[in-house]
Structure 1
Amino acid sequence: MRIALDAMGGDFAPEPNITGAIAALQADSALNVVLVGPQDQLESQIEASGYCGDRLSIVHASQVVGMEEKPTDAMRQKPDSSISVCWKLMAAREVDAVVSAGNTGAVVASGLKTRLFLKDVKRPGIAVTLPTLAGHAVLMDVGANPSARPSHLYQYAVMGEIYAREVLRVESPKIGLINIGSEDVKGNDLYRDTYRLLTESPLKDSFVGNVEGRGLYQGEADVLICEGFVGNVVLKVSEGMADFLMKEASKHIIGNLDVERDKAKQAFQDLGKRFRYHETGGAPLLGIDGICIICHGSSDAHSISNALRGSAMFKDRGINSQIAEHLAQKPVA
Structure 2
Amino acid sequence: MRIALDAMGGDFAPEPNITGAIAALQADPALNVVLVGPQDQIDSQIEASGYCGDRLSVAHATQVVGMEEKPTDAMRQKPDSSISICWKMMAAREVDAVVSAGNTGAVVASGLKTRLFLKDVKRPGIAVTLPTIAGHAVLMDVGANPSARPSHLYQYAIMGEIYAREVLGVEVPKIGLINIGSEDGKGNDLYRDTYRLLSEGPLKDNFVGNVEGRGLYQGEADVLICEGFVGNVVLKVSEGMADFLMQEASKQILGSLDTERDQAKRAFMDMGKRYRYHETGGAPLLGIDGICIICHGSSDAQSISNALKGSATFKDRGINSQIAEHLAQKPVA
Q: TM-score range by the shorter chain?
A: over 0.9
Kept in 2: contact 1:138–1:164 (CA 8 A) = yes
Kept in 2: contact 1:174–1:223 (CA 8 A) = yes
User: How far apart in 1 are the matches of 2:259 and 2:82?
Assistant: 51
Kept in 2: contact 1:7–1:82 (CA 8 A) = yes
Q: Displacement, 1:243?
A: 1.1
Provide, for residues 219-241 of structure 1, a one-character-per-residue CA deviation record: whole Å limited to 9, x for no partner.
00000000000000000000110
User: How far apart in 2 are the matches of 1:243 and 1:257?
Assistant: 24
User: How far apart in 2 are the matches of 1:208 and 1:47?
Assistant: 54
Counterpart of 1:191 in structure 2 is 191
Q: Secondary structure at the match of 1:74?
A: helix
Number of aligned positions between the proteins: 333
In structure 1, runs of 5+ residues without a counterpart are none
User: How far apart in 1 are the matches of 2:269 and 2:120?
Assistant: 43
User: How far apart in 2 are the matches of 1:228 and 1:53?
Assistant: 41
Q: Secondary structure at the match of 2:217?
A: helix
Q: Say if 1:257 and 1:188 are closer, same or farther in 2 by CA, change over 3 A.
A: farther
- 4+ runs of 1 displaced by more than 2 Å? 256-260
Q: Secondary structure at the match of 1:259?
A: helix
Counterpart of 2:236 in structure 1 is 236
Provide, for residues 106-133 of structure 1, a one-character-per-residue CA deviation record: whole Å limited to 9, x for no partner.
0000000000000000000000000000
User: How far apart in 2 are the matches of 1:259 and 1:160?
Assistant: 44
Provide, for residues 57-93 of structure 1, a one-character-per-residue CA deviation record: whole Å limited to 9, x for no partner.
0000000000000000100110000000000000000
Counterpart of 2:93 in structure 1 is 93
Kept in 2: contact 1:128–1:142 (CA 8 A) = yes
Kept in 1: contact 2:253–2:261 (CA 8 A) = no
User: How far apart in 2 are the matches of 1:195 and 1:216?
Assistant: 17
Provide, for residues 184-210 of structure 1, a one-character-per-residue CA deviation record: whole Å limited to 9, x for no partner.
111011001100111111000000000
Q: Secondary structure at the match of 1:99?
A: strand
Q: Secondary structure at the match of 2:99?
A: strand
Q: Displacement, 1:257?
A: 3.4
Q: Secondary structure at the match of 1:143?
A: coil
User: How far apart in 1 are the matches of 2:149 and 2:260?
Assistant: 54
Q: Secondary structure at the match of 1:328?
A: helix
User: How far apart in 2 are the matches of 1:225 and 1:110?
Assistant: 24
User: How far apart in 2 are the matches of 1:234 and 1:257?
Assistant: 37
Kept in 2: contact 1:254–1:264 (CA 8 A) = no
Kept in 2: contact 1:4–1:33 (CA 8 A) = yes
- Name whichever of 181-190 and 113-122 sits farther off: 181-190
TM normalised by structure 1 equals 0.99
User: How far apart in 2 are the matches of 1:205 and 1:322?
Assistant: 19
- Name whichever of 51-60 and 254-263 sits farther off: 254-263
User: How far apart in 2 are the matches of 1:235 and 1:4?
Assistant: 26
User: How far apart in 2 are the matches of 1:288 and 1:112?
Assistant: 9
Q: Displacement, 1:258?
A: 5.1
Counterpart of 2:155 in structure 1 is 155
Q: Displacement, 1:329?
A: 1.3
Q: Displacement, 1:254?
A: 4.1
Counterpart of 2:5 in structure 1 is 5
Provide, for residues 31-51 of structure 1, a one-character-per-residue CA deviation record: whole Å limited to 9, x for no partner.
000000011111111111100
Kept in 1: contact 2:8–2:102 (CA 8 A) = yes
Kept in 2: contact 1:177–1:225 (CA 8 A) = yes
Kept in 2: contact 1:128–1:139 (CA 8 A) = yes
User: How far apart in 2 are the matches of 1:277 and 1:139?
Assistant: 15
Q: Secondary structure at the match of 1:10?
A: coil
Provide, for residues 121-170 of structure 1, a one-character-per-residue CA deviation record: whole Å limited to 9, x for no partner.
00000000000000000000000000000000000000000000000000
Q: Displacement, 1:278?
A: 1.0
Kept in 2: contact 1:118–1:288 (CA 8 A) = yes
TM normalised by structure 2 equals 0.99
Q: Displacement, 1:259?
A: 3.1
User: How far apart in 2 are the matches of 1:199 and 1:314?
Assistant: 29
User: How far apart in 2 are the matches of 1:193 and 1:150?
Assistant: 6
User: How far apart in 2 are the matches of 1:260 and 1:244?
Assistant: 22
User: How far apart in 2 are the matches of 1:85 and 1:148?
Assistant: 28
Q: Displacement, 1:266?
A: 0.7
Q: Say if 1:171 and 1:79 are closer, same or farther in 2 by CA, change over 3 A.
A: same
- Name whichever of 103-112 and 193-202 sits farther off: 193-202
Q: Say if 1:261 and 1:253 are closer, same or farther in 2 by CA, change over 3 A.
A: closer
Q: Secondary structure at the match of 1:25?
A: helix
Identity %: 91
Q: Say if 1:256 and 1:262 are closer, same or farther in 2 by CA, change over 3 A.
A: closer
Kept in 1: contact 2:253–2:265 (CA 8 A) = no
Q: Displacement, 1:250?
A: 2.1
